[in-house]
Structure 1
Amino acid sequence: MTAVTSGPRFSHVDDATAMRASLSLLLPELRFVSSHESVEDLLTARPEADVVILDLHLANTGQPDASQGTTAIRRIVEAGYRVCIYSQEERRFVLAACLAAGATGVVSKAASLAEAEAAFRAVAAGEPVIPPGITGLIEVLVRRRSITVLTPRQREVLAHRARGLTYAEMSRSMYLSESTLRGYWMELAQLVSEYLRETSPGDIEHALGLRPGDLLDLWPG
């Protein structure tokens, strides 16, 4: 197999040895420059990478004090890397907290390899990658007027994406090209990422009707 020598550079952080050894083999078209069992190891090595593909849960019996979750995301972002979460975590508030902590994208390990590769490339290009669970959460915040900066067209795109419609399906129902719809989604995703990073957990709890403090254990400080 010929090593990829051009394109964005990826580093991978996962405490599972099999995952670290296999991801670059499963995605041979991506340029992997390093893999690490912990954030601490990554930050010591300081690889020349554009994106860090990060598992959320890194503490185990061998490294019980390893940074993980939103703390890990913030440390990596502060070191100058883009972060794409690659995790089995599905709780939407946890995933939203990842974006609030500075992650550019969130990808499920249940996604197909083609979907994961496309998402990693998008993050390398600076495009926010927001999973359906968070999209539905954002739609609720929009309906409850916590997010008010969206245009009517962006709201329509959000509603369709929250229901799992593809760009092709939206194109037929909205009479717009897929490229135009992708442009609307990119603008929307950027606004959503900025909102999550700038809004306090208390404001989000109030908008969603949660009890005060419900998000404090999840949200970055």
Structure 2
Amino acid sequence: MKILIADDHELFRDGLRHVLGQLGEQLTIVEACDYGDLFAVARSGSDFDLVLLDLTMPGAEWAEGLRQIKEILPGTPIIVLSAADDRRHVLQAVNMGASGFIPKSSPSRVMLSALRLVLSGGVYLPPALIEPQGPGGDSFNPVATEQAISFLTPRQREVLALLGQGKSNKEIARSLELAEGTVKLHVTAILKALGVNNRTRAVVAASQMGLNETEV
């Protein structure tokens, strides 16, 4: 397994290497200390299994940095690691295709579970940061979401609830005793019904509609 860590604080990178060592995998860890370094390393090889990205690094605004790394490594899941746990950043990162958002204040146990979840094809988002907001908040329009969910079949609602727990297609297939290909078809239909373009956004929708608790 090959993981790219991008963070401008050497002490945090050292701590993260220690956490990653507990995954029990044979790891190759590559490091970058700013966005320029990150882009250069990413372009030098596309065989990364995971990118762990600190938002606030020198070299680029974070949204532009995330956009560029998504373009360079389009098939690689990216987990945002940030000391800032502003839910607006979480939702913006989700909209841009991040597969997870882990506050740096998270205990190592939570971080490990989140990493395993994303590596298995799932999604991790901190539950407290995707709860529904009041008027003027950054959440989905609840009425529109309820209407969209009303068009889903009972089986698709079950799939959405498990999506909301961050589970991968393989885990959903096992839980519901379905073929993985069938789960993929359900997920495609759910994304279309909700008007979203990735499963991470569907996780937010499921959580905000109270279909589940997103936990690790």
Q: Does 1:87 align with 2:88?
A: no
Task: Show the 5 A alignment for 1:29-178.
Answer: 29-30=22-23, 31-46=27-42, 47=45, 48-59=47-58, 66-80=59-73, 81-132=76-127, 133-136=129-132, 141=140, 143-146=142-145, 148-150=147-149, 151=152, 153=157, 157=161
Unpaired runs of 5+ residues, structure 1, are 1-7, 60-65, 162-178, 198-221
Q: Letter of the aligned partner of 2:87 in structure 1?
A: R
- 1:105–1:187 distance in 2 versus 1, CA, 3 Å: farther
Report the CA distance between 1:126 and its aligned residue: 2.5
- CA distance in 1 between partners of 2:195 and 2:40 (Å): 29
Task: Show the 5 A alignment for 1:179-198.
Answer: 179=175, 191=191, 195=196
- 1:146–1:45 distance in 2 versus 1, CA, 3 Å: same
TM-score of the aligned structures, taking structure 1 as reference length: 0.60
- CA distance in 1 between partners of 2:197 and 2:92 (Å): 8
Q: 2:19 aligns with which of 3, 23, 26?
A: 26
Identity %: 21
Q: Letter of the aligned partner of 1:91 in structure 2?
A: D
Asked if the contact 2:88/2:138 (under 8 Å) is kept, the reply is no
SS at match of 2:29: strand
SS at match of 1:52: strand
- 1:89–1:187 distance in 2 versus 1, CA, 3 Å: farther
- CA distance in 2 between partners of 1:123 and 1:156 (Å): 17
Unpaired runs of 5+ residues, structure 2, are 166-174, 177-182, 199-216
SS at match of 1:149: helix
Report the CA distance between 1:27 and its aligned residue: 2.9
- CA distance in 1 between partners of 2:103 and 2:130 (Å): 12
- CA distance in 1 between partners of 2:103 and 2:191 (Å): 22
- CA distance in 1 between partners of 2:89 and 2:147 (Å): 23
- CA distance in 2 between partners of 1:149 and 1:9 (Å): 39
Asked if the contact 1:52/1:82 (under 8 Å) is kept, the reply is yes
Of stretches 149-158 and 129-138 in structure 1, the one that deviates more from structure 2 is: 149-158
Once superposed, what is the RMSD of the aligned Cα atoms?
A: 3.8
Q: Deviations over 1:118-168 (max 9, x none)?
A: 21222223322222112435995252325643347469959x97xxxxxxx
TM-score of the aligned structures, taking structure 2 as reference length: 0.61
Report the CA distance between 1:45 and its aligned residue: 2.1
Report the CA distance between 1:194 and its aligned residue: 7.1
Q: Letter of the aligned partner of 1:9 in structure 2?
A: K
